Amino acid sequence: MPLGFPRMPVSTTLLQNRFNRRSFAIGSVGGGIGMLLAARMGYIAIAENEKYATESESNRVNLTLIPPRRGWILDRNGAPLASNRADFRVDIIPERMVEPEATLVRLGGLLDLDPNRLRDLQDEVAQSRGWAPIEVASGLDYEQFASVSLRLPDMPGVVPQRGFSRFYPTGPAVGHLLGYVGPASAEEYDEDRNPLLITPGYKIGKDGLEKQFEQNLRGKHGARRVEVTASGRIVRDLDTRPDVQGNPVKLTIDGPLQDYAARRIGLESGSVVVVDCDTGDLLCMASMPSFDPNSFSEGIGSVEYAMLREDERVPLRNKVLKGLYPPGSTIKPMHCMAFLQAGIDPNEKIICGGGRRIGNRFFNCWSNHGVVDMAKAIYQSCDSYFYHFSQQIGFGPIAQMAETTGLGQEFPLPVTSQFYGTVPNPTWKEKKYGEPWRSFDTVNSSIGQGYYLVNPLQLAVMSARLATGKNLMPRLRLDKNAPAPASLGFSPEHIEHVRQAMSDVVNGPGTAGRARLPLDDIKMAGKTGTAQVVSLSVSDGRSGPWKYRDHGLFVFFAPLDKPKYAGAVVIEHGGGSGAAYPIARDVMTFLFDPAKGLEALKTLEEQWGGTAQQRLSRKYAAYAAERGAQVEPAPRRDEDIFDRVDAEARLAAQQSEALAEEASTSRNESTRGPETDRGAQ
């Protein structure tokens, strides 16, 4: 059956004609397609040439930013407290990774990462925003670096590079002072869309002076243009613009002293501050135990964070600025200065009798001192004397003197924050608690208890101002041209009187005979203090659980006749001032005779099991081995860590305010107490 009816009979000629027609048509169509192709190519290659040439160039050329080297942080003699170390490092950029899990495991094998670090990295990759580089490891040796570089084609998203990493030669000794550096957080990048912030290896200051001096320390980035293949392999360098290193920052800190003091604190939890009495330069602001800023720069590991957080000696808290303590008897010389200013005759005597009746209550002294004048009240730390004369002149002038000498003050220092504590006075109490000031409050405050709260820096400043009579302002940045401090207007006799009494604390019949410097020609003067932490019903302050023991405090200056250095030592829960003044003695010894100071430290460190840095890394290893797999990850934002640490510091400070409503129990300031050698334990 035919499918259709042909309109004309099909013949050979017809087919031949059809072939000719149709083949011609097909040839034309083919030619047309050829023209179309030529036109299309002309359009792409000529009209759009510029666009595609640019795209080809941006394919071929990869611009990498070179993170600038940070400026060094130097001590007063130009020795580095924070420097940069050339090293090999490996970062990952999660969004470029194809198989993040497998790649990480592989990297872990190549770089010998411990399982905790690997787990942290996996968490970080899971939470990351993709474009932000994550540091896998730094400080690698060349073999490890090379082994990663070789396998790059199979591991997209992995960036090995040579660079510089921040190096703190003394580690934990400068942790709280300098802070640490770390990669910019997602929030910081959202604020400032600078591509430098997400360049692998670029770190910014996260805490302490590193953060405060960020603009100064940050240099100018360099850039490198390289030719890369589609898979990211670098074929050759095209050109390089070197980075410009950030400016150095020179501090007033004396590096060796800072390190010495930090190490000398030993197993205790405390702080040492030393001030230059001519300029107010802060020579030392040690707070221990601390963290190692070297290990924080890779990001705070969850195991390390858990270990530091669980430690009741709060290694994350900068105790110089954020440790608030009742000053205890350390303020007694300052109170005497207030008495002298108020016209009290220093030779006026009272009978101690083991305490004093004020109103209808009897307040204890820690001992029965018999006949007491001002000098004896200081060197024997007699409480009755202060109960008596503070009632006599009222607490107002005393509080004023406290503020004059620096207590309750916030100093203009380049620090992220400082707690300035409390100098109680009637107006303050009315405002804060809505209750009138009672004689009871004067009694407690007169011996540095009650609502009194100070930080170690304020104590050091107080000591320096008392010893010199000058309005010294503490400083951290070295400035040779700073104006000389003004006088506070104390009369020379009054200063001399207080100095002599403080000398007697150490060199005379006082409470800290063991604080005498082992030097022939230099005498140190000081004042002990013991601050009650919990109610007497909980603990006697000397024995029992560590956290219920009294704080040990000591303020000092030396040399006696012409004070050059002043300072304060506060040992948390040291069980009394006996924990504090041996440290002050050794720190001062080191300042005047480094060899002798180091000798003393060496013996002690042998007992403790190494330097602070060695003990910290050993502790970490033990902790990681025991608890490694169970810890919670560290907060993603460093700010969360800071907030938590600050909140806990405030809470700790409030603890002693709770005691203000009860009569303070006088603390044994005797050198013969059972705890006096604690510092050497």
Partner 1 sequence: MNSIIPTPIARQPWGVLIPLFLLVSFGAAVLYSAAGGSFQPFASSHLIRFAIFLIVAGLMALFPRDVAKFFAYPGYLAVLVLLMAVEAVGAMGGGSQRWLEVGPIRLQPSELMKPAVVLALAKFYSELPVGMVGTWRSLVPAGVIIALPVGLVLMQPDLGTSLAIIFGGVLVMFLAGLPMRWFMGGAAAGLVVIPLAYFFALKPYQQQRVTTFMDPESDPLGTGYHFSQSKIAIGSGGLTGKGFNEGSQSHLNYLPEPHTDFVFATMAEEWGLLGGIFVLVMFGLILAWGLRVARQARHRFDRLLGAGLVGTMFFYIAINLLMVMGLAPVVGIPLPFMSHGGSSMMTNMICLGGLLMINRWNRLRTGDGIA
Binding site for partner 1 (CB under 8 A): 1-4, 6, 9-12, 14-16, 18-20, 22-24, 26-27, 30-31, 33-34, 36-38, 40-42, 44-46, 48-49, 51-53, 55-57, 59-60, 227-231, 235
The DSSP symbol for 610 reads S
CB 577 within 8 A of CB 332: no
- Residue given tokens 């059972």 in the structure block: 674
- Residue given tokens 């595609």 in the structure block: 52
CB nearer to partner 1: pick between 53 and 126: 53
CB of 145 to partner 1, least distance (A): 24
Helix (H, G, I), strand (E, B) or coil at 139: strand
Helix (H, G, I), strand (E, B) or coil at 410: coil
CB 208 within 8 A of CB 181: no
CB neighbour class for 373 (10 Å; exposed up to 12, middle 13-18, buried from 19): middle
CB nearer to partner 1: pick between 57 and 520: 57
Omega before 289 within 30 of 0, i.e. cis: yes
CB of 232 to partner 1, least distance (A): 10
CB nearer to partner 1: pick between 16 and 614: 16
CB nearer to partner 1: pick between 25 and 625: 25
CB of 165 to partner 1, least distance (A): 32
CB of 13 to partner 1, least distance (A): 10
CB of 92 to partner 1, least distance (A): 19
CA dist., res. 362 & res. 666, Å (int): 12
CA dist., res. 678 & res. 549, Å (int): 12
The DSSP symbol for 483 reads P
CB nearer to partner 1: pick between 64 and 147: 64
CA dist., res. 61 & res. 232, Å (int): 10
- Residue given tokens 């200051």 in the structure block: 205
CA dist., res. 523 & res. 39, Å (int): 98
- Give me the phi and psi of 616, to 5 degrees please: -65, -45
The one-letter amino acid code at 201 reads G
CB nearer to partner 1: pick between 43 and 142: 43
CA dist., res. 318 & res. 679, Å (int): 20
CB of 263 to partner 1, least distance (A): 55
CB of 38 to partner 1, least distance (A): 5
CB nearer to partner 1: pick between 228 and 267: 228
Buried/exposed 422-457: b ≥16 CB within 10 Å, e otherwise: bbbbbeebeeeeeeebebbbbbbbbbbbbbbbbbbb
How many beta carbons lie within 10 A of that of residue 111, not counting itself?
18
- Among the listed residues 179, 241, 176, the one whose alpha carbon sits nearest the alpha carbon of residue 204: 179
Helix (H, G, I), strand (E, B) or coil at 161: strand
CB nearer to partner 1: pick between 2 and 434: 2
CB nearer to partner 1: pick between 56 and 535: 56
SS (H, E, C) 428-494: HHHHHHCCCCCHHHHHHHHCCCCCCEECHHHHHHHHHHHHHCECCCCECECCCCCCCCCECCCCHHH
CB nearer to partner 1: pick between 37 and 371: 37
Compute the Cα dihedral for 285, 288, 293, 299 and give only its sign: negative
CB of 226 to partner 1, least distance (A): 11
CA dist., res. 352 & res. 2, Å (int): 139
DSSP string, 464-477: HHHHH-B----BSB
Rg, the chain, Cα only: 35
CB of 53 to partner 1, least distance (A): 4
CB nearer to partner 1: pick between 41 and 223: 41
Helix (H, G, I), strand (E, B) or coil at 645: helix
CB nearer to partner 1: pick between 17 and 681: 17
CB nearer to partner 1: pick between 229 and 417: 229
- Among the listed residues 642, 657, 582, 638, the one whose alpha carbon sits nearest the alpha carbon of residue 429: 657
CB of 24 to partner 1, least distance (A): 8
> Angle, nearest 10°, between helix axes 383-393 and 439-446?
130
How many beta carbons lie within 10 A of that of residue 13, not counting itself?
8
CA dist., res. 66 & res. 61, Å (int): 15
- Give me the phi and psi of 472, to 5 degrees please: -75, 135
CB nearer to partner 1: pick between 225 and 309: 225
CB nearer to partner 1: pick between 18 and 672: 18
CB nearer to partner 1: pick between 27 and 610: 27
CA dist., res. 161 & res. 61, Å (int): 18
Buried/exposed 144-174: b ≥16 CB within 10 Å, e otherwise: bbeebbeebeebebbbbbebbbbbbebbbbb
CB nearer to partner 1: pick between 23 and 654: 23
CB of 152 to partner 1, least distance (A): 14
For the sheet with 565-572, list strands across it: 282-288, 269-276, 565-572, 551-558, 525-531
CB 211 within 8 A of CB 178: no
CB of 237 to partner 1, least distance (A): 15
Tokens describing residue 567: 């300072």
CB of 154 to partner 1, least distance (A): 15
CB of 59 to partner 1, least distance (A): 5
